[in-house]
Chains A and B, each alone.
Chain A
Amino acid sequence: GAVVSQHPSRVICKSGTSVKIECRSLDFQATTMFWYRQFPKQSLMLMATSNEGSKATYEQGVEKDKFLINHASLTLSTLTVTSAHPEDSSFYICSAAWGGPGNTGELFFGEGSRLTVL
Chain B
Amino acid sequence: TQLLEQSPQFLSIQEGENLTVYCNSSSVFSSLQWYRQEPGEGPVLLVTVVTGGEVKKLKRLTFQFGDARKDSSLHITAAQPGDTGLYLCAGERNRDDKIIFGKGTRLHILP
- The answer to whether A112 and B99 touch (CB under 8 A), given A41-B106, A105-B30, A106-B48, is no
- The answer to whether A43 and B88 touch (CB under 8 A), given A105-B33, A106-B33, A106-B48, is yes
- B103 A43 Cβ-Cβ under 8 A: yes
Give B32's nearest chain A residue, CB to CB: A105
- B99 A111 Cβ-Cβ under 8 A: no
Residues of A near B103 (CB, < 8 A) are 42-43
Q: How many angstroms between the C-alpha atoms of A74 and B42 in the bound complex?
A: 21
- The answer to whether A114 and B42 touch (CB under 8 A), given A44-B88, A49-B98, A104-B48, is no
Q: How many angstroms between the C-alpha atoms of A110 and B103 in the bound complex?
A: 19
- A105 B92 Cβ-Cβ under 8 A: yes
Residues of A near B43 (CB, < 8 A) are 44, 93, 95, 107, 109
Q: How many angstroms between the C-alpha atoms of A49 and B88 in the bound complex?
A: 19
Residues of A near B45 (CB, < 8 A) are 1, 106-109
B69 CB, nearest partner CB in chain A, Å? 12
- A104 B101 Cβ-Cβ under 8 A: no
Q: Does A75 contact B (CB under 8 A)?
A: no
Q: How many angstroms between the C-alpha atoms of A71 and B31 in the bound complex?
A: 26
B65 CB, nearest partner CB in chain A, Å? 12
Q: How many angstroms between the C-alpha atoms of A110 and B33 in the bound complex?
A: 17
Q: How many angstroms between the C-alpha atoms of A110 and B41 in the bound complex?
A: 8
In chain A, residues 25-65, which have Cβ atoms closer than 8 Å to a Cβ of chain B?
34, 41-44, 46, 49
- The answer to whether A107 and B90 touch (CB under 8 A), given A1-B45, A112-B41, is yes
Binding site for B on A (CB under 8 A): 1, 4, 6, 34, 41-44, 46, 49, 91, 93, 95, 97, 104-112, 114
